[in-house]
Amino acid sequence: AAYEAGDHESFMHKEMLEQPAAAARALSGRLDERFGTAHLGGLNMDARETRAIRRVKILGCGSAYYVGQMGAALVEELARIPADAEAASEFRYRDPVIEADTLYVAVSQSGETIDTLLAVQEIRRKGGRVVGLVNVVGSAIARECDGGIYLHAGPEVAVASTKALTNMFLGFALLALQLGRVRDLSIADGRRLINGLTRIPAQIQEILDDEAAIAAVAEQLSEAESVFFVGRVRGFPVAREGAQKFKEISYRHAEAYQTSELKHGPLALISPAVPTVAIVPDDELTDRNVGALHEIAARRGPLVVITHEGVDLGEVDCVRIDVPRNERELDPVLLVVPLQLLAFHAAQRLGHDIDKPRNLAKSVTVE
Ligand code: AGP
């Protein structure tokens, strides 16, 4: 059957609302409760090869790169393997050193993004091993990789990616879990994460059920010429993705920053005309993040805080959006959902073509 927006005003809206079902598909048949691990048959790596990995390097473009940063954090936290993400569009231009004991991961919804494809070719030409986290089955990147994890998000039409990104995050969580369990991650921790993963589809639904309240916040944000998105450590790629989505479809200037870096420069820009969307999960950094909220409020910067129920934000004047709690490592996938809704409703309020924003293509297949 043809894939159509149906009753939805746009594909983006339909795709955001499909996330609970899409997330369930990403996990389906891949979780092993008994051994507290994940099974990703398509990786084409045995336990010996998996144990030999000394580093993980993730490559993607745009939002896929930001989810790659979330993925690198998961790999470091769960598998304790040094990991980082890099923009695939820059990678091959610095004549990168390719190492045999590094696992390269290419991440792409379309599987056709030329910059990511050329990065894969560069790695393979130099003898490296690449696995793909790809949504479109049989796409160019999927075919070029040594192995891979299909995302099973289903077709995604809107230029602003939503459900594919959610499934990329889950793909990284499964990869990190599998890598972790052949190394030092305990079975108890493995089971704890499996339990968290299985709760995610319903928790995304809970956030989507708050759409009307989040839309009201978006209407206020749409009036600003410029919006900051700030977060720290796990929250920083979330902020980057939030800013990306906001600028893509609302055409408003949006800038992502590490909350910790505000005082090293950009705090000068905070004023009643420049709102900040702050990511403040309940984690090791909550107190420090709350301190930064007070600094922003003292400059009369309007604040929207994405946080967890029960987090004490002090007396700070802000609009608060609570997301459900999960295991800390998995928080980013939930924190990002309100940011999709903020961007969507800001753009809708401004009357923009949500699915086909100006100057952008769904996949960038020429350099
Ligand atoms: C996401 O909202 C963007 N449209 C864009 O950054 C996108 O994620 C990027 O171009 C990569 O696309 P891909 O996942 O198909 O490779």
Q: Return d(Cα 339, Cα 302) in angstroms, integer.
A: 16
214-251 pLDDT, tens digit each: 999 999 999 999 999 999 999 999 999 999 999 999 99
pLDDT at 4 > cutoff 90: no
Tell which atom from ligand 1 comes closest to the C-alpha of 116.
Answer: 16
> Over the stretch 110-124, which tens digit does the pLDDT of each residue have?
999 999 999 999 999
Which residues, 6 or more positions from 290, have their beta carbon under 8 angstroms from its beta carbon? 280, 311, 312, 313, 314, 316
Share of the chain above pLDDT 70, in %: 99
Lowest mean pLDDT across 1-10, 235-244, 259-268: 1-10
Both tokens assigned to 20: 């609970």
pLDDT score recorded for residue 89: 97
pLDDT tens per residue across span 264-320:
998 899 999 999 999 999 999 999 999 999 999 999 999 999 999 999 999 999 999
**Strand, coil or helix: what is 37?**
strand
Query: Given this model, what pLDDT does residue 1 score?
Result: 55
- Whether residue 176 is predicted with pLDDT greater than 90 in this model: the reply is yes
Q: Write down the pLDDT at residue 169.
A: 98
Up-side HSE of residue 78: CA atoms within 13 Å toward CB? Answer: 33
User: Is the C-beta atom of 110 inside 6 A of ligand 1?
Assistant: yes
User: For position 116, what pLDDT does the model report?
Assistant: 98
Predicted complex: ipTM over 0.85: yes
Q: Is a pLDDT exceeding 80 seen at residue 3?
A: no
Q: Which pLDDT does position 300 carry in this prediction? A: 96
Helix segments in the chain, DSSP class H: 11-17, 19-27, 47-51, 63-74, 88-91, 114-125, 140-144, 163-181, 187-208, 211-221, 235-250, 286-298, 331-349
CA pair distance 15, 161, nearest whole angstrom: 8
Give residue 22's pLDDT: 98
Query: What is the 278 CA–ligand 1 centroid distance (Å)?
Result: 23
**Residue of the CA atom closest to atom 8 of ligand 1:** 63
- What is the mean predicted confidence (pLDDT) over 25-53? 94
pLDDT at 47: 86
Ramachandran angles phi, psi of 253, nearest 5°: -70, 125
CA distance 319 to 220: 11
Q: Which pLDDT score, from 0 to 100, does residue 211 have?
A: 97
Provide φ and ψ at 204, rounded to 5°: -60, -40
Cα 131 to ligand 1 centroid, rounded to whole Å: 18
Distance 184 CA to ligand 1 centre (A): 34
Atom of ligand 1 nearest to the CA of 245: 2
Confidence check: pLDDT of 175 > 80 = yes
pLDDT band at 351 (very low <50, low <70, confident <90, very high): very high
In short, whether 63's Cβ falls inside 6 Å of ligand 1 is yes
- Tell whether ligand 1 has an atom less than 6 A from the beta carbon of residue 249: no
Mean pLDDT of the chain: 96
Q: In 125-142, which positions are buried (b, 16+ CB within 10 angstroms) versus exposed (e)?
A: eeebbbbbbbbbeebbbb
Please tell me the residue having the least CA distance from ligand 1 atom 6: 62
Cβ of 114 closer than 6 Å to ligand 1, yes or no, is: no
Quote the pLDDT of residue 76. Answer: 98
Is 167 close to ligand 1, i.e. is its CB under 6 Å away?
no
* pLDDT band for position 2 (cuts 50, 70, 90): low
**Residue carrying the six token digits 């909220």:** 293
Would you say the CB of residue 61 lies under 6 angstroms from ligand 1? yes
Confidence of residue 186 (pLDDT cuts 50, 70, 90): very high
Quick one: tokens of 78?
A: 């769960």
